[in-house]
Amino acid sequence: MRRWQILKCLGLVAIVFFIFQCFLWFHFPTKQDQNPATYDVKLLVKKVMAVWEDLEDALFVIEPEVLYKIVEQENYSDNEGRCAVFCHLTKRAIAFGVFGHKVAMPLVVSKFRQSGFAAVDAKEDNPDFRLKNPGSPPQRIVTHIFLQDMAQPELTLHVVVFYPRADFLWTSQIQMPTSDLSFGASAGAYEVFEWRSLTIDGVHISVPKSIRHFIYMAQESKFLECDQDRAQLFYTQHPRDDSEEAQRFTRKARQLLVKGKEVLDALGVRFWLSSGTCLGWFRQCDIITYSKDVDFGIWIKDHKPEIIDAMETAGLPLKHVFGKVSDSYELSFKAGEVKLDIFFFYEEGDTMWNGGTDAKTGEKLKYVFPKFDLCWTLLLDIRVRVPCPTQPYIQANYGKQWDVPVKSWDWKSSAFNVRPNGVWPKSEWKEVIQVYE
């Protein structure tokens, strides 16, 4: 009897397991069913390009998976009749790009709907219009378009709209992005780029002119808008200094920022706004006019020995060198009344730090920050990087009351994250303390 009960229980378990397997089979497709290659992606892309054909500017493919496969192909021709790219995709969405200032986006949406596509456009306020027209009603722009061919609804076509801002191209964040989409998890900033035409799998398409560089830009594209509401609140509580002296400093600081950026960009050295310059951007979307300098941060892994010569060639003479590349390295350059301080950051466990050196005593200091990534932003209409997320970086340096101006700042004691870090041996002073006046 006991044996029969056991067999009965096992039978019930088997039936339940079979029903569960059937549920999974009907409700969750297999990997083979999920592969967009089982749909005619090639035909769909050809159909999209045909709809776009008579519009003013190109629709270019930016889907990373497609671009990687194009780079891998030594011969783009289809002489062997092989489908080498579009028949081997794994994602359910393909991203395209368009320059929004060259094409009437509402016309695009209408044209695709007339061609049998389901088309949904995402809109948001134009951030540049708000900056240049404070107090005016917002200007709405199309930032993303999602297309589905009703004959093949399994695949989503995502059109990312690039708009010019300052000297770069901007894309917006999608409010509810999904893992199927390669773009839109955050706003993006890209160098201005061109497109080129080619034929892939027998389909005429356009792609970014330099595919590898576009892929790199996409990986590094995250953009943070400066919080204008926070800046407005700050200036309500602490009125802006509009004196001639303050305006002159802002002009000179901007010139120095542009020149320093040009030098480092030419060398391929990533930098970000640090210290007071970063605080000014985060707190008031502007330069702190009483700070008297411009501050950059650079990861020590990105250091290049050519930096000093390149800065001096650009008309920025060296003011001092503190520390050495392996420890607490810091450079300072002069631009008239304003100086450019470059702090090099070192990774240590789950923190980052930059060093400081007292030129009179050889004392070493360490400024400790939580780890961070880099994002693009705008300061004085210049595209620059900032630590991301920014507030933990600011709070580490300036404490919880970072929103309160402090005009008397002691670099050795005022910072909340400063730590003693020993003393340079006198035998090394000639190397680690170099001052040029």
The secondary structure of 380-437 as a DSSP string is TTEEEEEEESHHHHHHHHH-TTTTS--SS--TTTT-TTEEEEEE--GGGHHHHEEE--
- Cα 142 to Cα 101: distance, rounded to the nearest angstrom: 11
Instruction: Confirm whether 9 is domain-assigned.
Output: no
| 128 vs 187: which has the higher pLDDT | 187
355/264 same-domain check: yes
At residue 99, the pLDDT reads 95
Q: Specify the CATH number for the domain of residue 297.
A: 3.30.460
At residue 77, the pLDDT reads 53
Long-range contacts of 400-405 (CB under 8 A, 24+ apart): 402/279, 402/282, 402/283, 403/234, 403/283, 405/238, 405/288
| Mean pLDDT value of segment 165-170 | 95
At residue 55, the pLDDT reads 82
Instruction: Confirm whether 248 is domain-assigned.
Output: yes
At residue 8, the pLDDT reads 46
99/139 same-domain check: yes
274/207 same-domain check: no
Long-range contacts of 204-208 (CB under 8 A, 24+ apart): 204/49, 205/45, 205/49, 205/60, 205/61, 206/58, 206/59, 206/60, 206/61, 207/60, 207/61, 207/62, 207/67, 207/70, 208/60, 208/62, 208/67, 208/97
Res 71 pLDDT > 70: yes
End position of a domain, from candidates 163, 196, 223:
223
Res 241 pLDDT > 50: yes
Q: Which residue has the tokens 């970072």?
A: 402
Instruction: Confirm whether 13 is domain-assigned.
Output: no
Comparing 8-22, 227-241, 406-420, the range with the smallest average pLDDT is 8-22
191/291 same-domain check: no
For residue 72, name the pLDDT band (cuts at 50, 70, 90): confident
Instruction: Confirm whether 88 is domain-assigned.
Output: yes
| 155 vs 353: which has the higher pLDDT | 353
End position of a domain, from candidates 202, 223, 244:
223
| 190 vs 138: which has the higher pLDDT | 190
- Cα 332 to Cα 318: distance, rounded to the nearest angstrom: 6
Instruction: Confirm whether 2 is domain-assigned.
Output: no
- Cα 39 to Cα 430: distance, rounded to the nearest angstrom: 69
54/169 same-domain check: yes
Percent of the chain with pLDDT over 90: 70
96/143 same-domain check: yes
Distances (CA, A) of 230 to 54, 177, 235, 407: 45, 26, 9, 20
265/129 same-domain check: no
Count of CB atoms within 10 A of residue 4's CB? 8
Q: What are phi and psi of 403, to 5 degrees?
A: -85, 0
- Cα 92 to Cα 215: distance, rounded to the nearest angstrom: 19
Instruction: Confirm whether 157 is domain-assigned.
Output: yes
| Mean pLDDT value of segment 203-225 | 96
Residues 93 and 141 sit within 8 Å (Cβ to Cβ): no
216/304 same-domain check: no
| 77 vs 156: which has the higher pLDDT | 156
Percent of the chain with pLDDT over 70: 89
- Cα 146 to Cα 158: distance, rounded to the nearest angstrom: 5
For residue 218, name the pLDDT band (cuts at 50, 70, 90): very high
Q: How many domains in the chain?
A: 2
- Cα 277 to Cα 161: distance, rounded to the nearest angstrom: 31
Range of the domain at 236: 228-435
143/236 same-domain check: no
Helix ranges, 73-193 (H): 105-114, 127-132
How buried is residue 75: exposed, middle or buried, by Cβ count under 10 Å (0-12/13-18/19+)? exposed
| 152 vs 364: which has the higher pLDDT | 364
- Which of 407, 425, 317 minimizes the C-alpha distance to 361? 425
Q: Indicate the SS3 state at residue 116.
A: coil
Res 16 pLDDT > 70: no
Instruction: Confirm whether 236 is domain-assigned.
Output: yes
128/233 same-domain check: no
- Which of 212, 181, 396, 429 minimizes the C-alpha distance to 321? 429
216/234 same-domain check: no
For residue 81, name the pLDDT band (cuts at 50, 70, 90): low
The pTM for the full model equals: 0.86
- Which of 85, 62, 63, 64 minimizes the C-alpha distance to 73? 85
At residue 309, the pLDDT reads 98
Which amino acid, one-letter code, is at 176?
Answer: M
Instruction: Confirm whether 168 is domain-assigned.
Output: yes
End position of a domain, from candidates 206, 223, 240:
223
Helix (H) or strand (E) holding 69: helix 64-72
Q: Which residue has the tokens 């400081």?
A: 356
Comparing 170-174, 190-194, 408-412, the range with the smallest average pLDDT is 408-412
At residue 299, the pLDDT reads 98
214/234 same-domain check: no
At residue 92, the pLDDT reads 85
Query: What pLDDT, in 10s, does the model give residues 260-313?
Result: 999 999 999 999 999 999 999 999 999 999 988 999 999 999 999 999 999 999
Q: DSSP letters along 341-381, please?
A: EEEEEEEETTEEEEEEE-TTT-EEEEEEEE--EEEEEEETT
For residue 79, name the pLDDT band (cuts at 50, 70, 90): very low
Burial string for 340-376 (b: 16+ CB within 10 Å, else e) reads bbbbbbbeeeeebbbbbbeeeebebbbbbbeebebbb
